[in-house]
Amino acid sequence: MLTTTNYNPDVLSCLANLSNDEVFTPPQLVNQILDMLPPEIWSDKNARFLDPFCKTGVFLREIAKRLMVGLAKQIPNEQKRANHIFQNQIFGIAITELTSLLSRRSVYCSKKANGKYSVCEAFDDEQGNIRFKRVNHTWENGRCAFCGASEEAYARGEELETHAYQFIHTEKPEEIFNMKFDVIAGNPPYQMGSDGGTRDIPIYNKFVDQAKKLNPRFLSMIIPARWMAGGLGLSEFRRTMLEDRRIRKLVDYERMDAVFPGVDFEGGICYFLWDRDDEGDCDVTTISGDNASAPVARNLSEFDVFVRDVRALRILKKILSVKEPSLSEVLSARTAFGIVSNFSGYRNKQSPGDVCYYATSPRGRVKAWIARSEVKINQESIARWKAMVPSAYGERGTRPAMVLGPSFVATKPSVCTQSFLFVCADSREQADSIASYYRTRFLRFLVSLRKITQHTTREAYLWVPQQTWDRTWTDEALYKKYNLTKADISFIESMIRPMESKNE
């Protein structure tokens, strides 16, 4: 039994993260990822491994440990075996100068690869095979042409880190080491500020695409799961990932903090295995809380977004088989009246010719008044009844979830900011019916399949069928209409919380 006097934890499991988007990978997770590779690769003395975004060096360290065991019979002398592995088989590109030192210390046991205490005697330079080269962003119209970083935020002096990652700031990544790799694995940076820090854009997709250019035998990365259904600028990346039949394994965590404790990043996290020489369905494992599903063979490209849970997929297919028009066809676009969320030209007292104005604030929903002349677009909708729903609602993976904020019927004539989506109605009774539909677990469950972050677009309602607006809709009526089983209902209600009515 371990005691406090002999417990010696792995230092790489104890390090604090640099930031939410540059997180250190726990050794346990690294080994789960490496376990996806074929066992025989650890006894192949010619196999080459690359981590193109080293932070702590944990991927390379764990790879080296496995090779030291796998090559013991082929290279019996331990020092010669270590020299061969470190010099010829494992390679890394650090993301910063600091992480290059940390990675070399983890892998070579010395921040200098040729240092006195290095476990490898074959290097004649300080970097060894874990390289760091400071490169510059390529500014075009205020942003980097390679990663999209904001020139305002990242055009810094030599004394500051610019986060211009070498691996993706080149058209020819193969020239960094001038060799072919059998395995590329690691945990890339996730995002960069694109407009001065007020909005973040994902960049992990750029690392995946760049790694594929090197055409390794195997590629495995841990990345945010937002790509499955959303993410700024990820439409093409999502399409190529879902259509790539070489993705053979996918492990999907609903919550990021299940993998990276203390990291708050909505949408969850996943890791995958891409196998260059083997196409087919993907074995998908879904992990929700303490529950992990058995791997299920899935065709990832069945829909334009990825339905993460196979139980939800079965329910969705049952509902889509009815072939009804989508609610997204009658739902407003975001910013339907051209009024952004920080609009300040409203007033608390009504003047002649004003229309009712709905917005949000840190204290909740705002109902005020605005001159009709302020509204430049979609004026034909002003005088109609509207059933409104917030366009943003976040819970960080809470289950059961609410998914959407409270719906309500807007007084007519009325407008709203981009904080709301709405469906127009011909009467108060129709609007009440639509609002009741918003509140059902049934509708919010279908939205949740396409909504992976707090923001909800019209596209998130694509799988929600339209109904007749002549009644108050309840889950019981909808379950019956679509012939959902007790198991279907139980699953929906385990995922979605009830919602109370909050009409005007």
Task: Tell me the pLDDT tens digit for each residue of 181-204.
Answer: 999 999 999 988 655 445 678 999
Amino acid at 122: A
With pLDDT > 70 as the criterion, what percentage of the chain qualifies?
93
Alpha-carbon distances, residue 375 vs 162, 179, 425 (angstroms): 42, 60, 20
3-state secondary structure 155-189: CCCCCCCCCCCHHHCCCCHHHCCCCCCCEEEECCC
Domain boundary among 182, 216, 250: 216
- In this structure, the answer to whether residues 182 and 233 fall within a common structural domain is no
**Higher per-residue pLDDT: 408 or 288:** 408
- In this structure, the answer to whether residues 143 and 273 fall within a common structural domain is no
**Distance separating alpha carbons of residues 95 and 92, to the nearest angstrom:** 10
C-alpha atoms less than 13 angstroms from C-alpha of 185 in its C-beta half-sphere = 29
The stretch 446-457 carries a mean pLDDT of 90
Q: What is the pLDDT of residue 195?
A: 53
CATH number, position 386: 3.90.220
3-state secondary structure 369-389: EEEHHHCCCCHHHCCCEEEEE
- Cα–chain-centroid distance for residue 453? 9
**Higher per-residue pLDDT: 18 or 168:** 168
Backbone angle region of 301, left / alpha / beta, with phi > 0 → left and psi within -120 to 50 → alpha: alpha
Domain extent for 86: 25-216
Checking if the pLDDT of 360 tops 50, the result is: yes
Rounded (to 5) percent helix, strand, coil in the chain: 30, 20, 50
Cβ-contact 50, 92 below 8 angstroms: yes
Q: Beta strands 282-288 and 296-298: pairing type?
A: antiparallel
Checking if the pLDDT of 285 tops 90, the result is: yes
- Cα–chain-centroid distance for residue 71? 37
Q: Is 229 strand, coil or helix?
A: coil
Judge whether 290 lies within some domain.
yes
Whether the model clears a pTM of 0.85, i.e. scores above it, the answer is yes
Q: What is the pLDDT of residue 23?
A: 67
With CA atoms as reference, report the closest residue to 148 among 97, 206, 103. Answer: 206
Which H/E stretch holds residue 273? strand 269-275
- In this structure, the answer to whether residues 117 and 188 fall within a common structural domain is yes
Which of 129-138, 261-270, 299-308, 481-490 is predicted least confidently?
261-270
Checking if the pLDDT of 460 tops 70, the result is: yes
Domain boundary among 167, 197, 216: 216
Residue 387: strand pairing partners:
409, 423
With CA atoms as reference, report the closest residue to 18 among 130, 82, 73, 99. Answer: 99
- In this structure, the answer to whether residues 61 and 98 fall within a common structural domain is yes
Judge whether 500 lies within some domain.
no
Tallying the residues shown for the chain, one arrives at 504
Res. 210 pLDDT band, cuts 50 70 90: very high
- In this structure, the answer to whether residues 397 and 301 fall within a common structural domain is no
Q: What is the pLDDT of residue 11?
A: 45
The stretch 221-247 carries a mean pLDDT of 94
Q: Is 251 strand, coil or helix?
A: strand
- In this structure, the answer to whether residues 87 and 136 fall within a common structural domain is yes
Judge whether 17 lies within some domain.
no
- In this structure, the answer to whether residues 154 and 287 fall within a common structural domain is no
Judge whether 8 lies within some domain.
no
- Listed in sequence order, the residues at least 6 apart from 44 whose beta carbon sits closer than 8 Å to its beta carbon are 70, 182
With CA atoms as reference, report the closest residue to 461 among 331, 307, 275. Answer: 331
Six token digits for residue 89: 């088989």
Checking if the pLDDT of 71 tops 70, the result is: yes
Q: What is the pLDDT of residue 9?
A: 44
Judge whether 1 lies within some domain.
no
Alpha-carbon distances, residue 382 vs 304, 330, 411 (angstroms): 33, 15, 10
**Distance separating alpha carbons of residues 329 and 465, to the nearest angstrom:** 10
Compute how many other C-beta atoms are within 10 angstroms of the C-beta atom of residue 245: 15
- In this structure, the answer to whether residues 187 and 293 fall within a common structural domain is no
Q: What is the pLDDT of residues 369-396, one digit of tens each?
A: 999 999 989 999 999 999 999 998 877 6
59-89 as b/e: b if 16+ CB within 10 A: bbbbbbebbeebbeeebeeeeebbbbbbbeb
Task: State the chain's mean pLDDT as an integer.
Answer: 91
Q: How many helices (H) and strands (E) does the chain have?
A: 12, 20
With pLDDT > 90 as the criterion, what percentage of the chain qualifies?
78
Judge whether 10 lies within some domain.
no
**Distance separating alpha carbons of residues 355 and 312, to the nearest angstrom:** 42
Q: Is 291 strand, coil or helix?
A: strand
With CA atoms as reference, report the closest residue to 166 among 257, 237, 94. Answer: 94
Domain boundary among 216, 250, 267: 216
- Listed in sequence order, the residues at least 6 apart from 411 whose beta carbon sits closer than 8 Å to its beta carbon are 356, 504
* Rg value, the chain, Cα: 27
Checking if the pLDDT of 17 tops 50, the result is: no
- In this structure, the answer to whether residues 157 and 276 fall within a common structural domain is no
Judge whether 146 lies within some domain.
yes
- In this structure, the answer to whether residues 88 and 150 fall within a common structural domain is yes
With CA atoms as reference, report the closest residue to 378 among 442, 330, 332. Answer: 332
**Distance separating alpha carbons of residues 62 and 42, to the nearest angstrom:** 11
Q: Is 248 strand, coil or helix?
A: strand
Most confident option among 184-193, 225-234, 474-483: 474-483
Checking if the pLDDT of 64 tops 70, the result is: yes
Backbone angle region of 412, left / alpha / beta, with phi > 0 → left and psi within -120 to 50 → alpha: beta
Return the axis-axis angle of helices 58-70 and 27-34, rounded to nearest 10°.
Answer: 50
The total of structural domains in the chain comes to: 3
- In this structure, the answer to whether residues 364 and 402 fall within a common structural domain is yes
Checking if the pLDDT of 264 tops 50, the result is: yes
- In this structure, the answer to whether residues 350 and 456 fall within a common structural domain is yes
Cβ-contact 466, 323 below 8 angstroms: no
Q: What is the pLDDT of residue 396?
A: 64
With CA atoms as reference, report the closest residue to 183 among 81, 73, 62. Answer: 62
DSSP 392: B
Six token digits for residue 397: 């993976």
**Distance separating alpha carbons of residues 177 and 193, to the nearest angstrom:** 29
Which of 144-158, 374-388, 450-464 is predicted least confidently?
144-158
Which H/E stretch holds residue 286? strand 282-288
Judge whether 399 lies within some domain.
yes
Q: What is the pLDDT of residues 288-332, one digit of tens each?
A: 887 888 999 999 999 999 999 999 999 999 999 999 999 999 999
